[in-house]
Amino acid sequence: MTDVNRLLFERAVRVIPGGVNSPVRAFGSVGGTPYFVERADGPYVWDADGKRYIDYVQSYGPGILGHAHPAVLESITRAASNGTSYGAPTEAEVVLAEMVVDRIVGLESVRFVSSGTEATMSAIRLARGATGRSGIVKFAGCYHGHGDALLAAGGSGVANQGLTGCDGVTAGAVADTIVGPYNVLPDLDDTVAAVIVEPVAANMGLIAPAPGFLEGLRLACDAVGALLVFDEVITGFRLARGGAAERFGVTPDLWCFGKVIGGGLPVGAFGGRWDVMEHLAPLGGVYQGGTLSGNPLAMAAGRTTLELLDDGAFDRLAATTARLAAGLAGAFTAAGLDAVLPRVGSLLGIYFGEVAPSNFDEAKALAENGLYPMVFHALLERGVALAPGAYEAMFPSLAHSDAVVDETAEVAGAAAKAVVANL
C-alpha cells in the first residue's frame, strides 16, 4: 500500500480500535494495509494517494446507482438546506414509507431506523412481543447485524474475523437462538417466535435458496404460528422492485431493509402486516425508538434512489452482472484458476474452487483455502477493488458500463495469471 494510506492507517490505529470503524475494513482476513478513500464517482473510488479503483464494494450495497449520483447529491443538499435533524415528524418520512409500502406486496406498515442492525433487532423484539414467545431460528452463515441474539454463527465480518461467536455476548443472550444449516428446513414448535433468514445468503459469499426452501419456511412457520422474517437489508430493492419476496414469490410476515433505501446515508427499516406492526409503541407494548430515525437527509436520498429504480433499472443491473460474471469466469478459466461465480440478479459471488457451495460449511471450505486473499491483492494492485473478505458479495451498480465491466475482466485475467504463477 502507498505512503499516504499507510500514514493514515498508522494515525487511525492510535485513536480507533484496529484503525477502522467496522472490522471487515481492517484487511484482517486478506492481509495488508487498507486503502483510505478520498473520493468516489460512479463505478470508481480514489484512495488517499490518488489511485483509482473500479469499485465492486459500493459501500456493501447502497451504491446501486453508483457513487455520488448527481440526483441523490442534489436531494441531500436540498434537504440539508432546511436543517439536518429535528426530533419531530416530517413529510419526507411519510413519502418514503408510502413508496416502500407501495413496492412490497403484503407489507402494510413500516418504521424507519438508522441501520440494518437496528432493523433486525427491532423485528426480533416485535416478533417476540406479538407472539408471546421467545425462540428465534436463524441459519449459520447468515449475518443479521451485530445484535447479541443474532451474532451466533454469523457470516460477513464475523466469519471474516474467524470468530465462532463474540466476546461479550452472554450465554443468556443467545439462549433462545436456534441455529440451523442454510437451505435445510428446521423443525419448529410452539416456542418459536420467528424464523429470520436472508432470502439470498449474501454474507457467506453468495448462496441462492434451494428450490422449495423459502416456500418450506413459509409453511413451517404457518404450521406452528411463528413469524417469518426476511432480512432484505441486501436484497431489498436490488433483486426486483419488490425485492426477494417478489423475485421468489414468498411473502414473509416481517421485512428488514437498509442500504439501498438510504441512498448511501445511514438508514434501516422494518415493516410488515398491520396486525403485527400495531404491537409497536405508541400503539402497543413493544418499545422501539431512535433520535435520528427518519433523518431528513436519509429520507431524501432514499426517495430519489427508489424513484430512479424503475423496472428497467433492475433488468440493466442483471445484464451488467451477467456480463461481469461471464467475463470473470472466462478470465479465471483462461489463467487456469478454478472459480465459480454464482449470481442472483445483480448480486454476484466469487469462490475459488470447482463447485458452488449450498451452505456455510461448504462456503467456509472455499473461503479459507487461501486463494481469495491472493486474488484480492492481485486485483487491487491492478486497480479493481473487491471486498477485503471472502464472505462478501460483489455489488455491480448502474454506473458500471459495459466498457468498465470488460476492463474488469481484462484486469482479472492478468491478476489470475500472476496468482497462478505464484502457486
pLDDT cut 70: percent of the chain above it: 96
Assigned C-alpha cell, 87: 426530533
pLDDT of residue 125: 97
- Active-site residue, from 35, 44, 143, 182: 143
**Nearest to 299, CA basis, from 251, 250, 264:** 264
Give the separation between CA 34 and CA 123, rounded to whole angstroms: 34
CA dihedral 368, 369, 374, 377 (to 10 degrees): -20
Q: Which amino acid is at 16?
A: I
Assigned C-alpha cell, 294: 427518519
Give the separation between CA 255 and CA 275, rounded to whole angstroms: 14
* Lowest mean per-residue pLDDT among 20-24, 136-140, 263-267: 20-24
CATH 3.40.640.10-classified regions of the chain: 71-308
User: Terminal CA-to-CA distance of the chain, rounded, Å?
Assistant: 22
What is the mean predicted confidence (pLDDT) over 210-239?
97
- Active-site residue, from 44, 60, 138, 259: 259
pLDDT of residue 162: 45
Give the separation between CA 384 and CA 409, rounded to whole angstroms: 10
Residue 203's contacts (CB-CB under 8 Å, 6 or more residues apart) are 141, 142, 143, 154, 155, 156, 159, 234, 391, 392, 393
Q: Give start and end residues of each alpha helix (H) in 104-189.
A: 116-131, 157-160
pLDDT of residue 165: 65
pLDDT tops 70 at residue 9: yes
What is the mean predicted confidence (pLDDT) over 112-123?
96
φ/ψ bin of 52: left (φ > 0), alpha (ψ from -120 to 50), beta (otherwise)? beta
Q: Give the CA diameter of the chain.
A: 64
pLDDT of residue 161: 44
Helix (H) or strand (E) holding 328: helix 311-335
pLDDT of residue 149: 83
Question: Cell numbers 446515508 correspond to what residue?
Answer: 265
Q: What is the pTM of this model?
A: 0.94
pLDDT cut 90: percent of the chain above it: 90
pLDDT in tens, 229-267: 999 999 999 999 999 999 999 999 999 999 999 999 999
Q: Where are the beta strands (DSSP E) in 91-184?
A: 109-113, 135-139, 177-180
**Nearest to 395, CA basis, from 54, 137, 104:** 54
Other CB atoms within a 10 A radius of the CB of residue 10 amount to 11
pLDDT of residue 421: 96
Examine the residue annotation and report whether 231 is marked as an active-site residue of this protein. yes
Calculate the alpha carbon distances from 198 to 99, 154, 182, 319, 336 in Å: 22, 12, 9, 23, 33
Give the separation between CA 207 and CA 393, rounded to whole angstroms: 10
pLDDT in tens, 258-301: 999 999 999 999 999 999 999 999 999 999 999 999 999 999 99
Question: Cell numbers 505512503 correspond to what residue?
Answer: 3
Instruction: Enter the DSSP assignment of 57.
Output: -
CATH 3.90.1150.10-classified regions of the chain: 3-64+310-421
Residue 132's contacts (CB-CB under 8 Å, 6 or more residues apart) are none
Beta 177-180 vs 343-344: how paired, if at all?
unpaired
pLDDT tops 80 at residue 155: no
Beta 44-47 vs 37-41: how paired, if at all?
antiparallel
253, 272 in Cβ contact below 8 A?
yes
pLDDT in tens, 368-409: 999 999 999 999 999 999 999 999 999 999 999 999 999 999
pLDDT of residue 153: 61
Burial class of residue 146 in the structure, from the number of CB atoms within 10 Å of its CB (0-12 exposed, 13-18 middle, 19+ buried): buried
Beta 268-272 vs 109-113: how paired, if at all?
antiparallel
Examine the residue annotation and report whether 143 is marked as an active-site residue of this protein. yes
Give the separation between CA 238 and CA 348, rounded to whole angstroms: 12
Using pLDDT thresholds of 50, 70 and 90, give the confidence band for residue 172: confident
Say which CATH architecture domain 3-64+310-421 belongs to: Alpha-Beta Complex (3.90)
pLDDT of residue 1: 55
- Active-site residue, from 47, 55, 231, 253: 231
pLDDT tops 90 at residue 168: no
* Lowest mean per-residue pLDDT among 125-139, 163-177, 194-208, 374-388: 163-177
SS3 130: helix
Other CB atoms within a 10 A radius of the CB of residue 158 amount to 22
Examine the residue annotation and report whether 372 is marked as an active-site residue of this protein. no
**Nearest to 134, CA basis, from 124, 122, 144, 119:** 124
* CATH class for the region spanning 71-308: alpha beta
pLDDT tops 70 at residue 321: yes
